C-alpha cells in the first residue's frame, strides 16, 4: 500500500520514495531518457536536412540541451514546485503530469534501445569469413600544429580538447570468399569515404590520409561518396582525390552532400582528371582469364532505371557493390553482391557509453552504424569516413580500411 503526504510518496514499510538517493537515480534515468529522445529526433529528422548551417546549429543545440539538463534539474529542484513534483513522482499539476509522462517515455525508449543493442551484439558475432590483421591509430607528428576543426558557435576550443578528428585509424582485414577467382587471390582493396571537403579541416590532414592510403599498395581504391560539403571546394577535392593511386584503378561515386552542393560540377571535374565515377554504372576488371564485377549505386540521390539492371542476380561472378548509404545493402546482398562497401553514417560520429552511435542517418536507424554486417552470404562494411559536416568525433575516429581478398584465410 502507498500513502502520501505533502512531502511526497511513502512505501508501506516506511521508506520514503522521495529520499535523496532515489531522486538522484530518478533524475539520472530521466536524463538518459531525455538523451534518447534527443538522439532519436536527431537521427530521424535533423541529419536529413539539406541546409548544413541549420543542421549544425540544431545538432549542437540538442547536444547542449542533453548536457545541461541534469544540471538544471538539480539546481532548480528546491526552487521549482513542478520539478519537485516530477522527482517525487507525485504530480499535482497538469504540466508536471505531462512532463513526467514525457520523461517516463524517454526512459522506456532508453531501456528498449539497450535491450535491442544487447541482443544484436550477442547475435551478430564477427563474421567467420573475416579476420582482423591489424588496427593502428595513425597520428601525424605535425597534427598538433594543424588548424583545429572549425566547430560552430565558438565551441571549438572546448570540444577539440577531446575531439578524435585527427586520430586516423588504419584497419586491415582478410576476407575469404569461395567465389573469388584464383587470379584475384590476394587482391588488396582500400576503402575511403566521406572526405567532406569544406574548409573545416586542415589541408595537410587530407594529404596525410591520401598518402597513407597510397602506402598500402592497393590494387583498387574505392571512395564511396560525400566528397564535398561546399561547392567552393569542388576543385580542391578533385585535385587531392586525383592523387590517389592504385594498380587496377581508383573508383569514385557521389553521396548526398555531393548532390546537395555541386554533384554535376564534381562529376565534370573528375572526368577532366580522367577519374572514374561509378554513377550507377558497372565495370569489369580482368586478370588473366578471370574477371570480377564492380558496380556503383548512387541511389536514392540519383534515381535511374539502370540501377535495377545493376542489381540483377550476379551470383555467377564475384561482385563488389560500392554505394554511399547502407540502405542499399539488403537489395545488393539479395542480388548476389559478395561485398558491399559504403559510408554515410560516419560510424555514428559520437558514440556515447550506453547509447552507442548518436548520429546515424539511415532509414534503418542505428541498425547499420559501422563495421561488418552479413546477409544471404553477402558482406557489408560501413566505413566511418575521413571528414564530416560537423567536424567533431568522440570515441569514433576517422578510418582507412584495407581488405585483402583471399580464397583461404591465412592461418594466424
Let me know: does 318 contact 180? Beta carbons within 8 Å. Answer: yes
Angle between helices 203-214 and 234-241 (to 10 degrees): 30
CB 384 within 8 Å of CB 396: yes
Nine-digit cell string for 199: 574548409
In the chain the domains, ranked by start, together with CATH numbers, are 2-122 (no CATH), 131-406 (3.60.21.10)
Mapped onto helix, strand or coil, the DSSP state of residue 168 is: strand
Strands 187-192 and 399-406 turn out to be antiparallel
Radius of gyration of the chain (CA): 25
Burial of 78 (0-12, 13-18, 19+ CB in 10 A): exposed
Whole-number Cα distances in Å, 16 to 79, 263, 367? 21, 63, 41
Q: Which of 249, 343, 271, 258 is nearest to 301 (CA)?
A: 258
- Give the SS3 label for residue 405: strand
Cβ–Cβ contacts within 10 Å for residue 12, how many? 8
Report the distance separating Cα 228 and Cα 231, nearest Å: 7
Nearest to 212 by CA among 229, 192, 194, 196: 192
- Please check whether residue 344 is in contact with residue 255, taking contact to mean a CB–CB distance below 8 angstroms: yes
How many other C-beta atoms lie within 10 A of the C-beta of residue 271?
A: 12
Mean pLDDT per block of 10 residues along the chain (412 residues) reads 44 48 76 80 76 77 75 65 74 80 82 75 77 93 83 68 90 95 96 95 94 97 96 94 96 94 93 92 92 92 72 79 95 92 93 81 85 93 93 92 93 68
Q: What pLDDT does 146 receive?
A: 86
Q: For residue 281, give every residue at least 6 positions away whose Cβ sits within 8 Å of its Cβ, in sequence order, or none.
A: 295, 296, 306, 310
What is the rounded CA–CA span in Å between residue 7 and residue 17?
Answer: 10
Contact 369, 356 (CB under 8 A): yes
Confidence (pLDDT) at 60:
78
- Bridge partners of residue 223, in order along the sequence: 192, 252
Amino acid at each position: 500500500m502507498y500513502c502520501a503526504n505533502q512531502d511526497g510518496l511513502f512505501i508501506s514499510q516506511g521508506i520514503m520514495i522521495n529520499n535523496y538517493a532515489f531522486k538522484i537515480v530518478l533524475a539520472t534515468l530521466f536524463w538518459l531518457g531525455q538523451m534518447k529522445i534527443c538522439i532519436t529526433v536527431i537521427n530521424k529528422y535533423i541529419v536529413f536536412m539539406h541546409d548544413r548551417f541549420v543542421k549544425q546549429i540544431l545538432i549542437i543545440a540538442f547536444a547542449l540541451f542533453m548536457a545541461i539538463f541534469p544540471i538544471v534539474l538539480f539546481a532548480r529542484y528546491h526552487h521549482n514546485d513542478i520539478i519537485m513534483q516530477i522527482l517525487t513522482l507525485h504530480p499535482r499539476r497538469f504540466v508536471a503530469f505531462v512532463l513526467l509522462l514525457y520523461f517516463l517515455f524517454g526512459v522506456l525508449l532508453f531501456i528498449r534501445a539497450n535491450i535491442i543493442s544487447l541482443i544484436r551484439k550477442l547475435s551478430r558475432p564477427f563474421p567467420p569469413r573475416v579476420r582482423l590483421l591489424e588496427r593502428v591509430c595513425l597520428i601525424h607528428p605535425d597534427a598538433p600544429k594543424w588548424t583545429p576543426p572549425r566547430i560552430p558557435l565558438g565551441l571549438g576550443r572546448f570540444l577539440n580538447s577531446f575531439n578524435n578528428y585527427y586520430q586516423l585509424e588504419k584497419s586491415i582485414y582478410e576476407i575469404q570468399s569461395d567465389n573469388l577467382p584464383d587470379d584475384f587471390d590476394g587482391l588488396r582493396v582500400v576503402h575511403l569515404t566521406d572526405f567532406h571537403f569544406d574548409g573545416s579541416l586542415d589541408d595537410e590532414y587530407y594529404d596525410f590520409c591520401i598518402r597513407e592510403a597510397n602506402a598500402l599498395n592497393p590494387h583498387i581504391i574505392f571512395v564511396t561518396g560525400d566528397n564535398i560539403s561546399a561547392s567552393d571546394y569542388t576543385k580542391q577535392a578533385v585535385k587531392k582525390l586525383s592523387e590517389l593511386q592504385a594498380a587496377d584503378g581508383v573508383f569514385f561515386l557521389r553521396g548526398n552532400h555531393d548532390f546537395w552542393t555541386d554533384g554535376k560540377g564534381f562529376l565534370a571535374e573528375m572526368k577532366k582528371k580522367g577519374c572514374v565515377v561509378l554513377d550507377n554504372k558497372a565495370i569489369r576488371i580482368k586478370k588473366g582469364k578471370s574477371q570480377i564485377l564492380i558496380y556503383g549505386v548512387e541511389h536514392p540521390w540519383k534515381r535511374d532505371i539502370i540501377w535495377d539492371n545493376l542489381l540483377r542476380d550476379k551470383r555467377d561472378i564475384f561482385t563488389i557493390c560500392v554505394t554511399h548509404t547502407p540502405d542499399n545493402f539488403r537489395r545488393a546482398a539479395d542480388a548476389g553482391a559478395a561485398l558491399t562497401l559504403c559510408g554515410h553514417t560516419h560510424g555514428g560520429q559520437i558514440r556515447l557509453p550506453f547509447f552507442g552511435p548518436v548520429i546515424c542517418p539511415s532509414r534503418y536507424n542505428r541498425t547499420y552504424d559501422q563495421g561488418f554486417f552479413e546477409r544471404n552470404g553477402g558482406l557489408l562494411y560501413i566505413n566511418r569516413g575521413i571528414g564530416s559536416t560537423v567536424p567533431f568525433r568522440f570515441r569514433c575516429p576517422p578510418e582507412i580500411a584495407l581488405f585483402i581478398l583471399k580464397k583461404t584465410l591465412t592461418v594466424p
